[in-house]
Amino acid sequence: MIKVVDLHKKFGKNQVLNNLNLIIEGGGIFAVLGPNGSGKTTLIKSILGMVRMDKGKIEVLDQAVKTNWKYRKEINYLPQIANFPGNLRVGELIRMIVDLRQKPDNSEELIDAFQIRPFLDKKLATLSGGTKQKVNIVLAFMFDSPLLILDEPTTGLDPAALIQLKKCIQTEKEKGKTILVTSHILQFVEEVAEGIIYLLEGKIYFKGSIEELKKQTGQTNFEHAIVAIATQKDHA
Ligand SMILES: Nc1ncnc2c1ncn2[C@@H]1O[C@H](COP(=O)(O)OP(=O)(O)OP(=O)(O)O)[C@@H](O)[C@H]1O
C-alpha cells in the first residue's frame, strides 16, 4: 500500500527526514506520532507527492510517487490547514470538489452527519474554526478511496463532531481502507489507532501496536509510553 525507502528531506539546513523507511500494508488505522516539528506533515506530504524529496523512493498503491500523479486520485486527504478562498460558499466548495473529482460522493449524508446544512450558503471566511474543520472532514470522507490521510482531524471539533469523526473512521476501516492519521490528542489515538508510527530525529523510531509500545517501554499508560519511547535507545 505504502512503501517509503531511504527518504531524505531537508528545508535549508534543517534535515527533517533522514533515511526514513516505512512499509504499510493495506488495511487498518495507523497513527503517525512524534513531537512538534518531527516531520509528520512532511512525511504525509511526501507520500502525497506535495513535498519534493531530496533522496529516496516512495510507492503508493504500487505506483512510484515521483513519476506518477494519478495515484493521488485514490487518496482522500484532510490537510492540517486547508486554504480555500474565503469568499467561496460551503455548498459551492463541495460541488466544486465533486465536479473536479468526477466520482460518486456521499456528501449529502456527511453534511447531515456533521450538521453543516445551515452553513451551505455561508462564505468560508465567516465560519468558525470548528465548522471549517467539519467542512474539511466532509471533503475528506465524501469519496470512496482505498487510502485516507488525516492530518490533525480533531482540531476544533466539538464532542458531537468528534464522535461522528470516529464513526466515519471506523466505517472506512470496516470497508478495508488504510487510514493514516496524525494527532496530538492521545486519547483519540488510543481509541482509533491499531498501529503506531513514531517519528523522531528524521526516522521511524517505533512501529507497532499500542500494546507493543507499552510493553517495550514498560508503561501501562499510553501517554507515559509515548513520552518514554523518545528517551529509549532501542530503535524499532
Ligand atoms: N515549507 C517549509 N519550509 C521550511 N521549513 C519547513 C517547511 N515545512 C516544514 N518545515 C520544517 O520542517 C520541520 C518539520 O515540520 P512538520 O510540519 O513536518 O512537523 P510535524 O511533525 O508535522 O509538526 P507538528 O506536530 O507541529 O504539526 C519543522 O522544523 C518545520 O519548521
Quick: pLDDT tens for 138-187: 999 999 999 999 999 999 999 999 999 999 999 999 999 999 999 999 99
Total residues found in the chain within this entry: 236
Distance 39 CA to ligand 1 centre (A): 6
Q: Please answer whether residues 199 and 205 qualify as being in contact, where contact means their C-beta atoms are separated by less than 8 angstroms.
A: yes
Give residue 230's pLDDT: 81
Residues 138 and 110: their CA atoms lie apart, in Å, by 6
Ligand 1 pocket at CB < 6 A: 11, 14, 16, 34, 36-42
DSSP secondary structure letter of residue 146: S
Mode of pairing for the β-strands spanning 203-209 and 195-200: antiparallel
Distance 87 CA to ligand 1 centre (A): 28
Residues 96 and 89: their CA atoms lie apart, in Å, by 10
The preferred substitution site among 42, 53, 199 for testing ligand 1, maximizing ligand atoms within 8 Å of CB, is 42
Task: Quickly state the pLDDT bin for 235 (edges 50, 70, 90).
Answer: very low
DSSP string spanning 171-198? HHHHTT-EEEEE-S-HHHHHHH-SEEEE
Phi, psi of 222 (to 5 degrees): -60, -45
Instruction: Give the rounded percent of residues in the chain with a pLDDT score beyond 90.
Output: 84
Give residue 137's pLDDT: 97
Task: Quickly state the pLDDT bin for 67 (edges 50, 70, 90).
Answer: low
The vertex-208 CA angle with 202 and 211, nearest 5°, equals 130
37: left (phi over 0), alpha (psi -120 to 50) or beta: left
Beta-bridged to residue 89, according to DSSP, are 123
Mode of pairing for the β-strands spanning 2-11 and 147-151: unpaired
Distance 84 CA to ligand 1 centre (A): 21
Give residue 47's pLDDT: 93
DSSP H/E element including 222: helix 222-229
* ipTM score of complex: 0.98
Grid cell in block for residue 151:
492530518
Task: Quickly state the pLDDT bin for 73 (edges 50, 70, 90).
Answer: confident
Give residue 114's pLDDT: 98
- For the sheet with 195-200, list strands across it: 75-78, 147-151, 178-182, 28-33, 195-200, 203-209
The per-residue pLDDT for range 185-206, each reduced to its tens digit, is 999 999 999 999 999 999 999 9
Report which ligand 1 atom has the smallest distance to the Cα of 80.
27
Domains and CATH numbers, the chain: 2-80+146-229 (3.40.50.300)
Give residue 195's pLDDT: 95
Give residue 171's pLDDT: 96
Distance 14 CA to ligand 1 centre (A): 10
Question: What average pLDDT does the segment 104-133 reach?
Answer: 97
Distance 57 CA to ligand 1 centre (A): 20
Within a 10 A sphere around the Cβ of 69, how many other Cβ atoms? Answer: 11
Q: Please answer whether residues 93 and 105 qualify as being in contact, where contact means their C-beta atoms are separated by less than 8 angstroms.
A: no
The preferred substitution site among 8, 33, 38 for testing ligand 1, maximizing ligand atoms within 8 Å of CB, is 38
Judge whether residue 61 has pLDDT over 80: yes
Q: Please answer whether residues 28 and 194 qualify as being in contact, where contact means their C-beta atoms are separated by less than 8 angstroms.
A: yes
Q: Whose CA is nearest to atom 7 of ligand 1?
A: 11
Give residue 233's pLDDT: 54
Distance 200 CA to ligand 1 centre (A): 13
DSSP secondary structure letter of residue 150: E
